[in-house]
């Protein structure tokens, strides 16, 4: 009697994932959701306690602007209003929740923006060639800033930029529209269109971005007075104490430079000798960064699924480090863009992420822990800001180099294979049974 082979085990089909039913979620998604909820409860608690982030900007500045904007005008003769007209949207939005205080409504809206980014990154990280590391990077890195992300409106701009980038491959018009709205909210999301592939995608995305930005600008100009007054507030900006130029002046103070720190144009800036020259140098570096990005756009020859994301991170990094102001909330932008890059396995920016994550942690040491001593000066706060800005500078240079190498630098020529046209001629193999004959 012949024994029959055992029948192969039949694998049970995977249960379909239904996002409305958490019981069907994969384990890594459940773990991510649990961490997100726990960490965000802690962040909201820090805002409520007022210890790590007193939310002064929301309590005083944003609520004051809200009261002015409700009258149909932008702030007049207010040098602290330095934002494009679209910034009025997150300032006015808490008024749609009348049962909550202004601070409570604002924090809730920023929490919803955070959740939207988290869900978008998780969805973008599933599939062939994709990775959930982007979703984890966002979930893990944002709490390093303590309660700060919920006490500023940068989460709203970051959500628009992240949405634009993730929509470009399938729906470039909608992605471009979000980028244009983001540009009217805080300028930098306009850089997300820089890396779109040449051809139809670029035409659709860039046109949609321009049209949406112009349309929103016309709406504000029609319904609000003094729409363009924010442009005047940028003329007298100096060197903020946390900027790259500011860290140079922090170090100079330790060697006898006689400059002082004052609240100027809505932030703490250095005043004194050489400050104006450093401010001009920052503007020149920003112009040089823009020129390099244009050169990259012209010279780039290879595009992958990760190229638009990598280019956006490089562009925002370059504009951040050359700016006259590097506020702590700027790190929210960089966390979002790093997370988008990490949703694609082929990204070139993975090493940059490992530089930016410690930069986020050092930023929290700078603000709020050392911010008062930063104004007074001293070796400890100087060392902290030098470390933070050194990490950002290294990350921006490395990011640009990796982007250039992946898209512009020609790949190494393949070594010709023996026997192919142009390759080395194959040598006849000697018979191992035949004695070697010495050459004459």
Local mean pLDDT, 10-residue blocks, the chain (440 residues): 50 54 74 95 88 75 94 88 93 94 95 97 92 96 94 96 97 97 96 95 96 96 89 75 93 89 83 91 96 96 95 98 94 98 96 95 88 85 94 97 94 57 47 38
- Asked if 215 and 68 sit in the same domain, the reply is yes
What span, in angstroms and rounded, lies between the C-alpha atoms of 387 and 361?
Answer: 11
Asked whether residue 214 is assigned to any structural domain, the reply reads yes
Domain enclosing residue 325, as ranges: 236-409
φ, ψ at 250 (rounded to 5°): -60, -45
H or E element, residue 338: helix 330-341
pLDDT recorded at residue 265: 73
Residue 111 CA neighbour count, 13 Å, CB half: 19
Same domain, 215 and 292: no
Which among 227, 261, 291 is the end of a domain?
227
Return the pLDDT at 27: 81
Residues 310 and 174 reside in one and the same domain: no
Crossing angle of helices 27-49/102-124, nearest 10°? 160
Q: What is the DSSP string of 146-205?
A: TTGGGGSSHHHHHHHHHHHHHHTTT-HHHHHHHHHHHHHHHSGGGGGGTTPPTTHHHHHH
**Distance between CA atoms of residues 411 and 88, nearest Å:** 47
Q: Collect all residues with Cβ–Cβ distance below 8 Å to 353 and sequence separation of at least 6.
A: 137, 338, 341, 342
Same domain? 207 vs 270: no
Residues 255 and 384 in one domain: yes
Q: Are residues 148 and 287 both part of a single domain?
A: no
Number of domains within the chain: 2
| Claim to verify: residue 90 and residue 217 sit in the same structural domain | yes
Residues 194 and 292 in one domain: no
CA atoms within 13 A on the CB side of 176: 22
CA–CA distance, 392 with 246 (Å, rounded to integer):
14
Does 185 lie in the same domain as 48? yes
Q: Which of 97, 84, 105 minimizes the C-alpha distance to 224?
A: 84
**In a shared domain, residues 42 and 130:** yes
Q: Where a domain ends, among 227, 246, 278?
A: 227
In-domain check, residue 241: yes
| Residue 176 maps to a domain | yes
Instruction: Report yes or no on 82 lying in a domain.
Output: yes
19 belongs to a structural domain: no
pLDDT at 10: 45
Residues 210 and 243 reside in one and the same domain = no
Q: Residue 352 in contact with residue 313, Cβ under 8 Å?
A: yes
pTM of the model: 0.88
Task: For residue 258, give Cα distances in angstroms to 231, 248, 275.
Answer: 31, 13, 11
Q: Which of 227, 260, 293 is the last residue of a domain?
A: 227
346 and 312 fall within a common domain: yes
Does some domain include residue 275?
yes
pLDDT at residue 439, rounded to an integer: 36
Confirm whether 422 is domain-assigned.
Answer: no
Task: Give a yes or no: residue 270 inside a domain.
Answer: yes
């Amino acid at each position: 009697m012949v024994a029959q082979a055992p029948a192969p085990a039949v694998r049970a089909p995977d249960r379909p994932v239904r996002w409305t039913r958490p019981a069907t979620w994969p384990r890594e998604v459940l773990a991510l959701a649990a961490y997100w909820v726990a960490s965000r409860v802690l962040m909201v608690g820090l805002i409520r306690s007022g210890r790590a982030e007193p939310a002064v900007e929301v309590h005083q500045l944003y609520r004051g602007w809200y009261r002015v904007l409700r009258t149909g005008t932008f702030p007049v003769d207010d040098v602290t209003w330095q934002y494009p007209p679209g910034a009025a949207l997150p300032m006015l939005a808490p008024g749609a929740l009348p049962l909550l205080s202004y601070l409570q409504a604002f924090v809730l809206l920023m929490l919803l923006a955070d959740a939207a980014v988290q869900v978008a990154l998780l969805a973008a990280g599933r599939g062939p060639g994709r990775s959930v590391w982007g979703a984890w990077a966002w979930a893990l890195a944002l709490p390093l800033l303590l309660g700060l992300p919920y006490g500023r409106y940068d989460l709203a701009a970051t959500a628009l930029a992240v949405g634009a980038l993730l929509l470009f491959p399938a729906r470039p018009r909608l992605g471009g529209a979000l980028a244009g709205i983001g540009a009217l909210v805080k300028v930098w999301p306009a850089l997300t269109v820089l890396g779109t592939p040449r051809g139809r995608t670029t035409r659709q995305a860039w046109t949609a971005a321009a049209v949406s930005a112009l349309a929103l600008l016309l709406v504000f100009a029609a319904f609000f007075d003094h729409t363009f007054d924010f442009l005047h507030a940028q003329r007298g900006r100096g060197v903020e104490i946390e900027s790259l130029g500011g860290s140079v002046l922090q170090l100079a103070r330790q060697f006898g430079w006689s400059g002082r720190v004052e609240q100027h144009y809505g932030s703490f800036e250095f005043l004194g000798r050489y400050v104006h020259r450093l401010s001009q140098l920052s503007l020149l570096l920003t112009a040089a960064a823009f020129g390099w990005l244009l050169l990259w756009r012209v010279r780039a020859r290879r595009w992958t699924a990760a190229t638009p994301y990598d280019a956006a991170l490089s562009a925002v990094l370059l504009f951040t480090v050359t700016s006259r102001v590097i506020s702590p909330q700027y790190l929210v932008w960089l966390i979002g863009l790093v997370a988008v890059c990490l949703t694609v396995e082929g990204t070139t920016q993975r090493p940059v992420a490992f530089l930016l994550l410690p930069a986020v942690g050092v930023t929290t040491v700078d603000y709020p822990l050392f911010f008062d001593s930063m104004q007074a000066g001293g070796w400890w706060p100087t060392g902290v800001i030098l470390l933070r800005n050194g990490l950002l500078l290294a990350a921006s240079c490395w990011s640009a180099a990796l982007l250039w190498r992946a898209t512009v630098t020609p790949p190494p020529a393949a070594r010709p294979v023996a026997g192919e046209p142009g390759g080395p001629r194959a040598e006849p193999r000697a018979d191992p049974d035949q004695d070697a004959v010495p050459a004459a």
